[in-house]
Amino acid sequence: MTDFDAYRNKFPHAKLTRSKDGVLEVVLHTDGDTLVFNGYTHEEFVDLFHHIGQDVGNRLVILTGAGNAFIDRIDPDGFDFFSPQGYDKIYREGKKVLSNLLDIPVPVIAALNGPTTVHSEYVLLADIVLATPDTVFQDKPHFAFGIVPGDGIHSLWPEVIGSIRGRTFVLTQQIIGAEEARTLGVVSEIVPRERLLERAREIAGRIVRLPPLTVSYTRVALTQKLRRLVDESVGYGLALEGISAADVGRSQNR
């Protein structure tokens, strides 16, 4: 297993701190401000979640963002969507990033510090979701690029908010506000921005008072069904996304 010091400073877009009782806080960021998602962060997060999951010193994870949004900007830098070889990297990483996140064997609290419109499926693998009142959800980038949202968006949203609601959300690029998200069951609790982390730590503190194996195996038991869902849907979804990207790539070259 890995040692915290060996990886804590390894990730340029994730600031890691850990409390004495093993609560790991992960702040996603770009130069200390709101994360700009790009091809490099896609690769980096595969490794980030892998290391977090391997370290038995982590007893609970709080995942949050810097600045005023969780993730709402995406930049094509570092992505090659439009050639099969380039897409292969996205396909490999896209499968691994979700399975690594899901394989973190301790509870994950997402503390959403604002809009979440890029890779919102990460949030759906958290067990508890806190959100500021200005948090909104949407799937922006796929249809903006003209490609299939096949990276888990297509299967996890219907799983979490219901079949028709989830399919409508994806196809209409619907914007869901914090209050509605709470009603739909994506958000566990709405918390003012200034109390967001404090509240996450309160909840975390109560959980980590339980014996370590109990905390860990409760996460394993609670996410068993999601493991199969991710395994069955994400590889296939990404393959369909890849064909659609190859098609978009060809039209652009013509």
94 contributes a contact to a copy of itself by CB under 8 A: no
> Does 242 sit near a copy of itself (CB under 8 A)?
yes
139 interacts with a copy of itself by CB under 8 A: no
C-alpha to C-alpha distances, 213 to 193, 207, 218, 221, 224, nearest whole angstrom: 32, 12, 8, 12, 16
Tokens 């810097």 sit on residue: 66
Q: Is 128 in the site for a copy of itself (CB under 8 A)?
A: yes
Question: For residues 145-184, which are near a copy of itself according to CB under 8 A?
Answer: 146-150, 154-155, 158-168, 170-172, 184
| Rounded Cα–Cα distance for residues 84 and 67 (Å) | 35
Does 254 contact a copy of itself by CB under 8 A? no
24 lies in the binding site for a copy of itself (CB under 8 A): no
In which element (H, E) is residue 16 found?
Answer: strand 14-18
CA distance 15 to 58: 15
Contact between 220 and a copy of itself by CB under 8 A: the answer reads yes
Which residues from 52-81 bind a copy of itself, rule CB under 8 A? Answer: 56
Q: Choose which of 8, 89, 199, 201 interacts with a copy of itself (CB under 8 A).
A: 89
Nearest to 142 by CA among 131, 127, 157: 157
Tell me which of 12, 17, 75, 83 binds a copy of itself, using CB under 8 A: 83
6 binds a copy of itself, rule: CB under 8 A: no
At residue 38, φ and ψ (nearest 5 deg) are: -150, -175
The H or E element spanning position 222 is helix 212-253
The radius of gyration of the chain from alpha carbons, rounded to an integer in Å, stands at 18
252 binds a copy of itself (CB under 8 A): no
> Known catalytic residues?
121
Q: Which is nearer to a copy of itself, 20 or 213 (CB)?
A: 213
Tell me the two tokens of residue 122.
């990460």
Stretch that binds a copy of itself, among 8-16, 17-25, 32-40, 231-239 (CB under 8 A): 231-239
Decide if residue 225 touches a copy of itself (CB under 8 A). yes
Q: How many residues does the chain have?
A: 254
Closest CA to 91 of 236, 232, 227: 236
Q: Does 85 bind a copy of itself (CB under 8 A)?
A: yes
**Site for a copy of itself (CB under 8 A): which residue of 65, 114, 141, 237?**
237
Of 53, 97, 64, 65, give the one whose Cα is nearest residue 219.
53
Q: How far is the CB of 33 from a copy of itself (least distance, A)?
A: 28
Comparison of 3 and 31: residue with beta carbon closer to a copy of itself: 3
Closer residue to a copy of itself, CB minimum distance, 65 or 242? 242
